Structure formats: C-alpha cells, structure tokens
Structure 1
Amino acid sequence: MLKLGVNIDHVATVREARYRGCGHGEPDPVEAARLCEQAGAHGITAHLREDRRHIQDRDVWKLREIVTTRLNLEMANSPEIIGIALRLKPDIVCIVPERRQEITTEGGLDVAGQREAIRETRQRMNEAGIEVSLFIAPDPVQVEAAASTGTQFIELHTGAFAEAWPDPAARAVEVERLRQAAELAHQAGLRVNAGHGIHYQNLRDLYRVPHLVELNIGHSIISRAVMVGLPAAVQEMLALMRDYPAGGGAA
C-alpha cells in the first residue's frame, strides 16, 4: 500500500503571515496534523528550517506529543537542527538542502559532494533510533552516493516531473528518470519515497514509478483544503493513491 505523508508547512506559512513572532495564532499546524491523521494520513511531515520561516520549535515539540502515526522531520544537515532532532526523536528525518532565498525546498541534496558529513549524521540519527531519508534528484550518481551513506530511505525529488507535467513528451522523460532512479535505489537496498509538486492531477503518472513506499504531499492538499476542508482533501488524495499497483511500475 502506498502511504501518504502530509506536509503541514503551508499551514504554518499562513499563520506566520499574520502572527509571526507572537508565539500563537491560526491556523494551527498541530491541529492540522491531528485532522490529517484522523482522515487517514499515514504520517506527518514538517520542515524546521534554520530561518524558521514557517514551522517553529514549539510546533515540532507539540507534534511529537500528538502524532500517533509517523513524524517525519525535514531538516538541513546543520549542527543546530541536528541537535534538536536528536532531542526530539522523530520517527524519521529527511535531510534536505536549504537556501535562504528559496520559497520552498528547491533541488535535491548533493549527497555525492558531502558523503562523509551525511554519513556521520545518518549514524548519529540511527544510534538514537531515528531512521534517515535523503531528498535527492532522480540522478544515478546521487542514488549511488545515498546508498553509500547507509541511509534507510531516499525521497525522490519530483519537482522536475511536476514542472514538466503539462507537456506529455517532457513528462514522459521525467517519469522515466524517476522510474530508473527508483529501480536503482531498490537494487541498492534503499526504500523509496517521493515528493515535491505532486498534486491531484499528476499523481496517476507516478503509478509507473516502482517501489514507492510513501508520497510526501503538502501544497496541493492544503490548497484543496481551502475549498473542501482538510479531512476531505486528505481523503481525496488517499483515494487516488489506492490504485497504485503493488510494486508500482504500471504502464
């Protein structure tokens, strides 16, 4: 069964637009996480950025108290955030790149260029009982590098696929890149997640990508929730995901 992790960062973005620095405000990402779980989500994802532009420290500690499925902390490989993660003990961390000027995480992690630093963080997390995922482009070099760090998961960056989706020819190229990367990762003993830019219209194209364990989806679900409510938005996405074939890779 393909699992759904709901990224609640955009709930916090809306809150911070009005209540930044107040220590309170609405909408509450913690309550959003509760509603997502009640609607059937298999996990909750939150990115505690170094610049704290959306999710705040108080959010992740409250999330750790209330999340009953799987808490996925997205994080930069930086000393401050590593320290927080080791104290927080989420179920899994996903190490991502961060650039201060970006609106959201753009591009995959350059694992090949920083293997030792990532391997060290992976080891520290695993010793604390925390699984590790690396957010990478569907690039064979990065897949191989990820496998060499001993990580448990990769999360394939689907941003290029999402951008190419309106063009059938470009879409086919990006789906094939994802398919090949997922196959290579599976052969290397990695479990495969995917995320970034996945929405209700393009999800079915990912049926052709094999071995997917979980999709991490945020913006499209939160956007849909404005119209139909968060529980319904989660359930609509879950309904689309139920047709993912066992093992993936459907034509």
Structure 2
Amino acid sequence: MIELGVNIDHVATVRQARRTYEPDPVVAAALAEQGGADGITFHLREDRRHIQDRDVEVLIKTVTVKTNLELACDEATIDIACRHRPTWALLVPEGRQEVTTEGGLDVTGGRDRVERSVKRLKDAGILVSLFLDPEAPQIEAAAELGVDAVELHTGPYANTTGPERDAQLQRLAAAGQQIRTAGMRLHAGHGLNYVNVRPVAALPEMVELNIGHAIVSRAVMVGMREAVAEMRRILDLIRAV
C-alpha cells in the first residue's frame, strides 16, 4: 500500500489570514486521520507564514499516525525539531519571496550545512528525508549522508502537459530507481492532485506521497475526511490493478 501523507499547511494559511484560532490545523489533522491518512505533514517555515510553533507541539503530541515536519537547514528550527521529535524531518529549501517551495534542496552546493542538520536530527532519533529534484548528483550526495528517504520534487511534472509531462515522469522514474538502488525509501510530492497523481503513484516501489494543496482545496468543498478518503481510494487502486 502506498502511504499517504496529508500536508495541512494551507489550513493554517487560512487561519493566519485573520490571525485568529480557526480553522485549526490540529483538528484538520484528526479529520485527515479519519479519512485514511498514514501521516500528517506540516512545514515550520522560518517566516511562520502558516504553521506556528504551537501547532508543531500540539500536532506531535496528538497525531496518532506518523508526523512529518518540513524544515530548512536552520539551527533554530532544527532545535525545535530535536525538542519535539517528529517521526520524520524533511529538509527543504526556503526562500522568503517564494509562494511555496520552488525546487529541491541543493545538497551538493551546501553539503556541510545539510550534513550538520542531518546528523543533529538523526542523533535525536528522528528519521530524515531530503526534498530533491530528480538529479543524479543530488541523490548520490543524499545517499552518502545516510538519510532514510528522498522525497522527489514533482512540481515540474505537475506543471506540464503532453510530451513534456511524459519526459518529466521518465526523470522521476530514473531518479526513483537510483534512490531504491541506494537503499533509501522513495517518497514524492509537490503539485500532485486527484488527476495527475496516478502515474507517480505507479512508479516502482513508491512508498509515500505527500499531498496538501489539492486535498485542502477539495476539503473546502466536501470536508477534510471525505477529501482524504477520496485520495486514499485512488492510491489503493494503484496496487490493486
């Protein structure tokens, strides 16, 4: 079965638009679990634009499935992760002007900083994954650092159509093979929705998909539990055929 991680950041985005207490991402996480989520993903950004420190603390205490904390290689944020100890830590790049994460982490260009972050997290007993573009040198560097998983950046695939999308899917497939050969778990995420998720889910030995915006958008219409259940049914069919 492909594991479904539900990213609840955009529930917090709506809350922060009014700087109030609702909608509460903690409640959204509970409903996502009821809908079939295997994990809850949330990104504590340095600028705190959506998820807040309180959210991290309460989510890790209350979520009964695995927790996946996205964070940059920032010492203060790493401190928070080591203190609260989510199941997984996903290291991602951050840019203050970006709307959302726009590319994979540059491990080869910032190896010392990434390596320090990985070591601190693993010393705290946290499983570590890296959010990477499907590029062989980046994946090779991740393997050398001994991380537990690589989450492939699927944004370029999600944002294209036709032959270009097919080419991007082939890039993901090749990167996935490299990740599996290196003994790391294969995860993927970014821009996946109810229409484009199937080919990515069908990649050999795909273990986990992390999906947020599409599910939260659907939840506005049908509710969080049903939105997650709909995605769960799609993924369950992948292995059934």
Following superposition of structure 1 onto structure 2, how do residues 124-163 of structure 1 map, counting pairs within 5 Å?
A: 124-163=120-159
Partners in 2 of 1:244 and 1:183 — Cα distance?
18
Note the C-alpha offset of 1:124.
1.6
Residue in structure 2 matched with residue 186 of structure 1 by the alignment: 180
Gaps of 5+ in 2: none
- Asked if 2 retains the 8 angstrom alpha-carbon contact of 1:195 and 1:217, the reply is yes
Residues 104 and 132 in structure 2, CA contact (< 8 A), matched pair in contact too: yes
Partner of residue 17, structure 1:
17
Instruction: Kindly indicate whether residue 215 of structure 2 is the aligned counterpart of residue 221 of structure 1.
Output: yes
Work out which of the residue numbers 159, 162, 179 in structure 2 matches 1:168.
162
Question: 8 Å contact 2:130–2:147 — kept in the other structure?
Answer: yes
CA separation in 2, counterparts of 1:207 and 1:228? 23
Given the superposition, is the C-alpha separation of residues 207 and 214 from structure 1 closer, same or farther in structure 2, using an over 3 Å criterion? Answer: closer
Within 5 A, what are the aligned runs for 1:1-251?
1-19=1-19, 24-164=20-160, 167-245=161-239
Q: Secondary structure at the match of 1:242?
A: helix
Q: How far apart, in 1, do the equivalents of 2:236 and 2:96 lie?
A: 37
Q: CA deviation at 1:112?
A: 1.0
Give 4+ residue runs of structure 1 displaced > 2 Å after superposition. Answer: 243-246
SS in structure 2 at match of 1:243:
helix
- Following superposition, the deviation at residue 194 of structure 1 comes to 0.4
Moved more, 114-123 or 209-218: 114-123
Q: Is the 8 A contact 1:175 1:208 kept in 2?
A: no
Q: Could you tell me how far apart the structure 2 residues matched to 1:162 and 1:42 are?
A: 22
Query: TM-score if structure 2 supplies the norm length?
Result: 0.97
Deviation at residue 98 of structure 1 after TM alignment = 0.1
CA distance in structure 2 between the partners assigned to 1:135 and 1:144 by the alignment:
13
Offset of residue 208 of structure 1: 4.1
TM-score with structure 1 setting the length: 0.93
SS in 2 for 1:51: coil
Are the counterparts in 1 of residues 201 and 209 from structure 2 also a CA contact under 8 Å?
no
Give the share of equivalent positions with the same residue, in percent.
53
8 A Cα contact 1:97 1:108, kept in partner: yes
Aligned length: 241
Q: Deviations over 1:50-104 (max 9, x none)?
A: 0000000010101011011101000000111010010010001000000000111
Match for 2:173: what amino acid?
R
TM-fit CA distance, 1:115:
1.9
User: 1:245, CA displacement in angstroms?
Assistant: 3.3
The code of the aligned residue for 2:7 comes to N
